[in-house]
Amino acid sequence: MSQSRKGRRLQLYTYEQLPKWYQQMESPYITAGYRNNLSYQQCLRSIFQIHNETGNIWTHLLPAILFLPLALYDVAVIVPGLHGKLADYVTMAIFHFDNQITLLASAYFHTFLAQGCKQNYEQCLAVDLWGVAMATAGNSLIYVAYAFCCSWWWQLFYYGLLGGLMTWYSVIWLHPRMVPGWVSLERRLLAFFPLWVGVLAALALHTLHHNRHWPDNLAQLLALHYWLRAVANHLVGIIVFFFAKVPERWWPGRFNIWGQSHQGFHIVVVLSQLFWRRAIISFMQMELQTFC
């Protein structure tokens, strides 16, 4: 048994000391601070220790905690203040539930990936990917509810489409036999393509056609503004932090613990969630001024 499994002191490794499969999963620009060969309990304790995943864990675990009182405030104060209907309460509940899935699935992955087993790593990563897919599809459901509030047919069409995608993502990333075939970067992009490119693009273009009078009041303008900010913010985060891996690409080894790109990406995700929350509130205000 390795030293890291025997003692309570956390042993850290350099990138070169990792197994080849582990190196392929990680960024070579993060040169040290890796955990490996930890038990489930040691991974859990490492949440409160310093390593190169500490920032990745807490940039989503802490917002998950802070979003809980915000969820209560939205349901108890914001929605009643806007004279919300039952559907508005459901919408806000779905939004916050999706947020918790995304944030906690991410924290789970970054906490338990260091068990020294490729299979366990891939299963933890799959949970993270599933959380991202559920949040994206869930927020799209909310968008459909308001953007097509005067057309139950199109609502049902997109609900069915998004429901089918959510079921598919649950199968490929939660079923143990399916996980190995859907965690490589190429297969991840392939899996997300119908949701990110197909459905989201279709929703955007269809909305512009279906609601050609938009925006004709302040609520509609604000709803579109915050929705577009959430989408644009997310796209910039994906390009700059996830793919370009700035800043550690420029200064390898300087951001092993704090300030690495993935932490920046996590912050972008949280900001996007806040923008999307503001968009939902504006959509509720818009609905008060919409006469079908």
Consult the annotation and say whether 110 binds a ligand.
Answer: yes
Consult the annotation and say whether 96 binds a ligand.
Answer: no
| Contact between 264 and 244 (Cβ < 8 Å) | no
Consult the annotation and say whether 210 binds a ligand.
Answer: no
| Contact between 237 and 264 (Cβ < 8 Å) | yes
Task: Retrieve residue 89's tokens.
Answer: 């309460």
Rounded CA separation 256/32 (Å): 6
Annotation: binding site for Zn(2+)? 110, 262, 266
Residues at the binding site are 110, 262, 266
